[in-house]
Structure 1
Amino acid sequence: MAETVWWKRGTVYQVYPRSFQDTNGDGVGDLKGITQRLDYLAWLGVDALWISPFYPSPMADFGYDVADYCGVDPLFGTLADFDELVAEAHRRRLKVILDFVPNHSSIAHPWFEESRASRENPKRDWYIWRDPAPDGGPPNNWISNFGGLAWTRDEATGQYYYHAFLREQPDLNWRNPAVREAMHEALRFWLERGVDGFRVDVIWHLIKDEGFRDNPENPACLPGEPEINRFVQVHSADQPEVLDVIAGMRRVLAPYGERVLIGEIYLPIDRLVTYYGPDLSAADLPFNFQLLQTPWQADAIAAVVEAYEAALPPGGWPNWVLGNHDRPRIAARVGEAQARIAAILLLTLRGTPTLYYGDELGFGHVAIPADRVQDPWEHNEPGHGRDPERTPMQWDGSPNAGFSEAEPWLPLSPDAVSRNVEALCDDPGSILTLYRHLLHLRREQDALSVGSFRLVEDRIEDVFAYERAAGEVTIRVVLNFGAEERAVPLPEGRRWTILLSTHAGRARTKLSRQAELAANEGLVLLAEGS
């Protein structure tokens, strides 16, 4: 199976639709814009695009507050536009993965409007309602992920409803079988339209503690951290019953063939791997965010890779993520030089990699003026906003970088004239060229897509090295995380050819006893005879 199923061999590219391509001149990206840029994704060499939400929504959280699970918000287009996108993607052999947001709906969803109408309404139990505490306050101490209490009192009915995020995003009650079936129908709606899988938003939140016990205080929380970190979320998320919920989703997908179920899960490795489920019955790919959270040092990265590989259940397929719409971009975290090391790491580790749009251009931090802030989290807790990683894709050096004829909904990066697809695509030394070469190398070499993984035991300061192998082919990856040159010994009795380097001009060079690494250089080496 590892050699045939597409989501094991392939790479996923996340598209944030508001920021990819605008075609109607309103400054916001749309579905037609994604279709217009499919040739770019095919040229780049990715295999699937994951599209962040485009459902009808009041946009309190930019589409993660869903008012209709089976439609397209007019801001992004129509169902016909979506159908065309899927058809054109498939024509280019690109898979389409949708963002599914089942933990919470919009406050404007008809289900919630019914639920809050009265305590006796048939849909009352579709959401999480609780009586006030004896003092009239919220039922427990649970905190919203965007700051503040996670409970809002409904004056008309006298109860509180729970929202793990904004008060405009009430949590659905996944202990109710009717909720499960309604959401399964939504999955079928999109499967029937040809989608190839789903990335399930905050999947570890779907079931809450049945007794709604208080979360314990977090003694490790430091000043300046988001308020959510004040407590350890042991009762508001990551409950054992959630695996049955995910297994139910898998059963919905099963009749449709090779569809993938990806779960968004921010948990330590030992908890993350449980989301594969008993006998791999839950998520195909529980998203592994360790590279977003680990210090950018060779030893730390090596340790987390080793721990993750060791913790995987038999048959569990690994995956790696460097960036997404919720976390600062990789170049903003590690710098432009190390962003190239990160590219090699992501695309040569064992498992399915997910790229975030714009990272292949080396986007760094984009400062957002106070009067341009969009993210509700930034408004609630200044300093924690996500706008800088959601800025528009930069296609060329024209005004608005080819993204829109109007002013984009968020600012472009200051270097948009030079940091864009048109400027970088033919530059042999650009980070875009590096990403494209890596992606095509993965397709050419089974060792890099489905091959085995082995850490190189000899450790050199600032260097992380490992091997991938398939059949008679052995590839060694050597990454210098430091700002000084390093000499890395190579196995005796073998010669190596440099397939790819972060530094231009070294490809096809022959090596024997050692690899001389420049500062911030990464090499992909092919063993002689492979």
Structure 2
Amino acid sequence: MSGTHQWKNSVVYQIYPRSFYSKHNRATGDLAGIIAKLDYLQWLGVDYLWLCPVYPSPQCDNGYDVSNYCDIDPAFGTLDEFRELVAQAGRRGIRIMMDIVVNHTSTEHPWFQAARASRDNRYRDFYIWRDKPNRWQSKFGGSAWELDEASGQYYLHLFDKGQADLNWENPCVRKAVVEIVRFWRDLGVKGFRFDVINLISKCPLMSDDDSDGRAFYTDGPRVHEYLRQIYQEVFAGTDLISVGEMSSTTLQHCLDYTHPERQELSMAFSFLHMKVDYPNGQKWVKAAPDFIELKRVMGEWQNGMHAGNGWNALFWCNHDQPRIVSRFGDDGRYRVESAKMLATALHCLQGTPYVYQGEEIGMGNPHFETIEQYRDIETHNAYQRLLAEGLAPSQALAVISQKSRDNSRTPMQWDGSPHAGFSTHAPWIDLCRDYREVNVASARRDPDSVLHHYRKLIALRKTLPLLVNGAYQDLLPAHPQLWAYLRYDAESALLVLNNLSDEASEFLLPDGANELLPQGRPHEARLIIANYLDREHEHGREKNAGFHRVLLRPYESLALHFT
């Protein structure tokens, strides 16, 4: 999307408001709390704040079940406080991105309440009904159909039964969605994240075969048409940006979604790299990540989106994913080193980086000890299924501890005081046990912290055009522990070396790599960032640094710039 704002070199910070900061000292966070932390976010250097849903909601899925799209849930504050947030953020050069959840509504939304009141009601066709369910499965487990006893038909819910899918075939639904986005645009919102947006178009001929239904609604037959309509009626001629959450999508679809000439979305989230610890595609299994597969997926999307003029939304963490330092790194002995390494590996790729609250200080999974400590409905459903499959409670809990969405939803750790400075009140979900050591206050005091490393990377994206425009080449695609890649153009190159292991490993520049470096200076490079302090002291002030042979310590990473 066009506009004067240079969003391609921007960084987005994701806030899960329920767990960010409670200015009013309650169990949950609030808008006033976000306003209170704007100076910190400005210091960090981020450009957009993506807010997970703050709309009125019965909270059966932590706000992704919206009962009113044009108001603020009293638990978070008021519309006036939201206006103040937009204004205060704008004064600091930060823009607000809203989460738009329009694949489904809450069953408590007035539209659905009217729809279930009568089959003749105009809102009946806002939703998808059948006399008999087929075999489609909910992504939260069980049937995707729920009987509405009052009207005698089943409604579709691809997620929780409290989230009824909208019927986008109905032009009145599309008109209502446009009005919702315009409402927030007119309040000063500059970015929109569309939740599971590639699921909105369902094939009218719903299958009665033995499939779970995914093939009939993922990247459905009219999804691109629907997105172009929203673009034309809301985004055209503005500097607004948009990002689509894409469930089980393909590279080609994301090229179509994000190619500027198609006028659909600015960028897209894909999740294939978040499934490299899903053996045989199964999420609820305790498993180590396959780093060769991770590099293959990342390389495919880097090269494909670059060649096709698409745009990636880069991320390790969000409100639905475990903490990356626990998942792909080491949240114990090498927490700092591995958190920095993973940050460097991601932020030196092409795309717009997203930082999830707490990621910038290296927060890890909470490692809860009982199922009662978890709040997430998907997690509890999965735990019961694992028990039914014959796992012992301790085995099921080990899986949950690794894969639960609640791993990312524990309160933000601001300082070492009780409740981590999140609130003086006990929070809605337990804290990580390490909050006295891992928190913003201590990280700001330590120049070698994960936090200061993120701040450097965020600043680097604004000063090094190669990060935005350069091509990508994986130098060691088959190496089990080194992720070594080049970003390059005709004038310069960036060699990024990452050790994904707790064992030292030597990098040797492979034959042919010199051809991708700027001609005339194949043996000179300047170190621009490293995660071991002595590496920076050794090379930080020198123009040249050796690169043909580099011994990388556990979880070490560094980036060398060739000009």
Q: Quick check: 169-178 or 314-323, which moved more?
A: 314-323
The reply to whether residue 319 of structure 1 matches residue 307 of structure 2 is no
The reply to whether residue 488 of structure 1 matches residue 508 of structure 2 is yes
Instruction: From the superposition, tell whether residues 456 and 141 of structure 1 become closer, same or farther in structure 2 (CA, over 3 Å).
Output: closer
Contact 1:288 1:321 in 2 (8 A): no
Instruction: From the superposition, tell whether residues 52 and 215 of structure 1 become closer, same or farther in structure 2 (CA, over 3 Å).
Output: farther
CA drift at 1:207: 1.3
1:468 to 479, 487, 491: 487
Tell me how far apart the structure 1 counterparts of residues 478 and 532 of structure 2 sit (CA, whole Å).
20
Q: What is the aligned partner in structure 1 of residue 219 from structure 2?
A: 238
TM-score, structure 1 length as denominator?
0.90
CA drift at 1:365: 1.4
Q: What is the aligned partner in structure 2 of residue 12 from structure 1?
A: 12
The reply to whether residue 328 of structure 1 matches residue 322 of structure 2 is yes
Structure 2 counterpart of 1:520, one-letter code: Y
Instruction: From the superposition, tell whether residues 11 and 441 of structure 1 become closer, same or farther in structure 2 (CA, over 3 Å).
Output: same
Tell me how far apart the structure 2 counterparts of residues 174 and 310 of structure 1 sit (CA, whole Å).
33
SS of 1:234 mapped into structure 2: helix
Q: What is the aligned partner in structure 2 of residue 224 from structure 1?
A: none
Query: Within 5 Å, which residues of 2 pair with 1:159-174?
Result: 159-174=153-168
Q: What is the aligned partner in structure 2 of residue 225 from structure 1?
A: none
Query: Within 5 Å, which residues of 2 pair with 1:396-415?
Result: 396-415=415-434
Query: Within 5 Å, which residues of 2 pair with 1:434-449?
Result: 434-448=453-467
The reply to whether residue 179 of structure 1 matches residue 173 of structure 2 is yes
1:286 to 254, 258, 268: 268
Contact 1:115 1:122 in 2 (8 A): yes
Q: What is the aligned partner in structure 1 of residue 143 from structure 2?
A: 149
Tell me how far apart the structure 1 counterparts of residues 190 and 435 of structure 2 sit (CA, whole Å).
33
Higher share in helix: 2
Structure 2 counterpart of 1:233, one-letter code: R
Tell me how far apart the structure 1 counterparts of residues 457 and 258 of structure 2 sit (CA, whole Å).
32
Tell me how far apart the structure 2 counterparts of residues 463 and 88 of structure 1 sit (CA, whole Å).
43
Query: Within 5 Å, which residues of 2 pair with 1:307-386?
Result: 307-312=300-305, 314-336=308-330, 337=334, 338-368=338-368, 369-382=370-383, 383=400, 385-386=404-405
Tell me how far apart the structure 2 counterparts of residues 53 and 282 of structure 1 sit (CA, whole Å).
22
Q: What is the aligned partner in structure 2 of residue 504 from structure 1?
A: 533
Structure 1 counterpart of 2:504, one-letter code: E
Identity %: 38
Instruction: From the superposition, tell whether residues 299 and 146 of structure 1 become closer, same or farther in structure 2 (CA, over 3 Å).
Output: closer
Tell me how far apart the structure 2 counterparts of residues 388 and 298 of structure 1 sit (CA, whole Å).
21
2:294 to 301, 316, 329: 301
CA drift at 1:451: 2.7
Question: Which sections of structure 1, spanning at least 5 residues, go unmatched?
Answer: 133-137, 218-230
Tell me how far apart the structure 2 counterparts of residues 70 and 408 of structure 1 sit (CA, whole Å).
27
Q: What is the aligned partner in structure 1 of residue 410 from structure 2?
A: 391
Contact 1:86 1:195 in 2 (8 A): yes
Deviation track 1:411-434 (CA, whole Å, cap 9, x = no partner) reads 111110010000111212221121
Contact 1:428 1:504 in 2 (8 A): no
How many residue pairs were aligned? 508
2:194 to 183, 200, 213: 200
Over the aligned positions, Cα root-mean-square deviation in angstroms equals: 2.3
The reply to whether residue 257 of structure 1 matches residue 277 of structure 2 is no
Tell me how far apart the structure 2 counterparts of residues 241 and 255 of structure 1 sit (CA, whole Å).
20
SS of 2:164 mapped into structure 1: coil
Tell me how far apart the structure 2 counterparts of residues 499 and 339 of structure 1 sit (CA, whole Å).
18
Deviation track 1:476-526 (CA, whole Å, cap 9, x = no partner) reads 211122322314338574222221111112221542343332222110112
Tell me how far apart the structure 2 counterparts of residues 26 and 519 of structure 1 sit (CA, whole Å).
41
CA drift at 1:458: 6.2
The reply to whether residue 452 of structure 1 matches residue 470 of structure 2 is yes
Instruction: From the superposition, tell whether residues 493 and 143 of structure 1 become closer, same or farther in structure 2 (CA, over 3 Å).
Output: closer
Tell me how far apart the structure 1 counterparts of residues 76 and 495 of structure 2 sit (CA, whole Å).
44
Tell me how far apart the structure 2 counterparts of residues 305 and 162 of structure 1 sit (CA, whole Å).
34
TM-score, structure 2 length as denominator?
0.85
Tell me how far apart the structure 2 counterparts of residues 378 and 155 of structure 1 sit (CA, whole Å).
28
Tell me how far apart the structure 1 counterparts of residues 321 and 434 of structure 2 sit (CA, whole Å).
21
Tell me how far apart the structure 1 counterparts of residues 374 and 297 of structure 2 sit (CA, whole Å).
35
CA drift at 1:30: 0.6
Tell me how far apart the structure 2 counterparts of residues 311 and 74 of structure 1 sit (CA, whole Å).
44
Q: Quick check: 114-123 or 434-443, which moved more?
A: 434-443
